[in-house]
Amino acid sequence: MNKIYFVRHAKPDYSIHDDLIRPLTDQGIKDSKELLNFFKDKEITKIYSSPYKRAIDTIKEVAKIYELEIEIVDGFKERKISNCWIEDFSNYSRKQWSDFSYKLEGGESLKEVQDRNIKVLNEILENNDSQNIVIGTHGTALSTIIKFYDNTFNYDKFNEIKDVMPLIICMTFEGRSIKSITRQINK
């Protein structure tokens, strides 16, 4: 049985619009260090992450205490919204959650994000057995994974967690079969 701890990144600096290099704020850095209290006794054996700086920086202290390399997995990156910055994220997000195939030009639909994330998650599940794994991820990407296993997860539930940073969701798997999904308190 694999236990996967999805860690949604800590608070990012939204003044940097480039997703790949957007750093954490000072508060985000502080909050990411507090993850050590949660993970110190979890016997983590593997760590994967989105290629985005904020996801990597959120889990890098966990990697240090376990002396593990962070394996970058491009498939765990966040949804691409468009080729330009959008101001009304709430309205855009509501449209996407009501129509999983909705996307802006140059962007991804939630269905595409979900397919990409589930594909790489399945590869990890197939290549690991009885591991405690951390995956550094993002709010929307993680939400599409939750939705894949729990069809009751919707826009309202996404909206409840969209400002929770960092966020830890633990999923337990037997093979590819989900056994449990729990939101963790990281204090």
Q: What is the span of the domain harbouring residue 38?
A: 2-79+109-184
Q: What is the CATH number of the domain that holds 39?
A: 3.40.50.1240
Measured between alpha carbons, how far is 125 from 120 in angstroms, rounded to an integer? Answer: 9
Domain annotation covers residue 91 = no
pTM of the model: 0.95
Domain annotation covers residue 56 = yes
Domain annotation covers residue 94 = no
Domain annotation covers residue 98 = no
For 103-165, where are the alpha helices, taking DSSP H only?
Answer: 110-127, 139-149, 155-161
Tokens 């997995």 belong to residue: 73
Domain annotation covers residue 127 = yes
The 10s digit of each residue's pLDDT in 5-60 is 999 999 999 999 888 999 999 999 999 999 999 999 999 999 999 999 999 999 99
- Can you say whether the dihedral through the CA atoms of 148, 153, 156, 158 is positive or negative? negative
Query: Per the structure block, which two tokens stand in for 93?
Result: 């997000």
Domain annotation covers residue 52 = yes
Domain annotation covers residue 138 = yes
Q: Taking a C-beta distance cutoff of 8 angstroms, is the pair 8, 165 a contact?
A: yes
Beta strand pairing call for 167-174 and 177-184: antiparallel
Domains contained in the chain, number: 1
The 10s digit of each residue's pLDDT in 92-128 is 999 999 999 999 999 999 999 999 999 999 999 999 9
Domain annotation covers residue 92 = no
